[in-house]
Amino acid sequence: MRAERSVTMSDHIDHADKLAAARLLRDMLGAGFVYLAAVLGAGLAIKGFAPPQWGAGLLAIVPIAPALLMLSAQLRYMRALDEFQRRVQSEAVLIAAAVIAFATLAYGQLEDMAGFPDISMMWVFPALCIVWSIATLFVRRRYK
């Protein structure tokens, strides 16, 4: 009979996967919070100071810095995974990109042709992240 299994490296690796996912969530939430604060701050500054268009443009792209932090967090997460987990994530990203591409294309046509209300393009990135998370669940199930 096998002895009770001690903690092995694979436990550490599975644990490392969970730690990487937890770190991703923490980094995304942190950067997301800074992003929202930057969006609000830039909006208030533009309204309050009425800068010229180039100044408003500069203020409007300030939130891109924390958004880049989110991208960096996602890349760090991908690099922490083993090759199979990376495959799962890559497929999930591909599915998410396709879903968002077709959804934005379809909604763009609805806006232009059927008079649907305008939706800001700033929602594309959060939507991509949400669809990526959902796609990950489906892709993981396929490999089980």
Partner 1 sequence: MRNRLKVLRAERDWSQADLADKLEVSRQSVNAIETGKYDPSLPLAFKIAAIFGLPIEQIFSADDVAQAAE
- Rule CB under 8 A: which residues touch partner 1? 2, 5, 8-11, 13-14, 17, 82-85, 87, 140, 142-144
Residues 6+ apart with CB under 8 A from 87: none
| 106: its two tokens | 């379809």
**What amino acid occupies position 70?**
M
Nearer CB in complex with partner 1: 46/88: 88
Nearer CB in complex with partner 1: 47/144: 144
Distance in Å, CB of 5 to partner 1, minimum:
7
Spatial distance between the Cα atoms of 33 and 25, rounded to a whole number of angstroms:
12
Nearer CB in complex with partner 1: 81/128: 81
Nearer CB in complex with partner 1: 70/81: 81
Distance in Å, CB of 8 to partner 1, minimum:
4
Spatial distance between the Cα atoms of 48 and 58, rounded to a whole number of angstroms:
15
Buried b or exposed e, range 94-106, using 16+ CB within 10 angstroms: ebbeebbeeebee
Alpha helices, DSSP H only, in the chain?
Answer: 9-49, 53-60, 64-79, 83-114, 124-142
Nearer CB in complex with partner 1: 82/111: 82
Alpha carbon of 92 to those of 59, 66, 74: distances in Å?
33, 23, 13
Distance in Å, CB of 84 to partner 1, minimum:
4
Distance in Å, CB of 14 to partner 1, minimum:
5
Distance in Å, CB of 143 to partner 1, minimum:
5
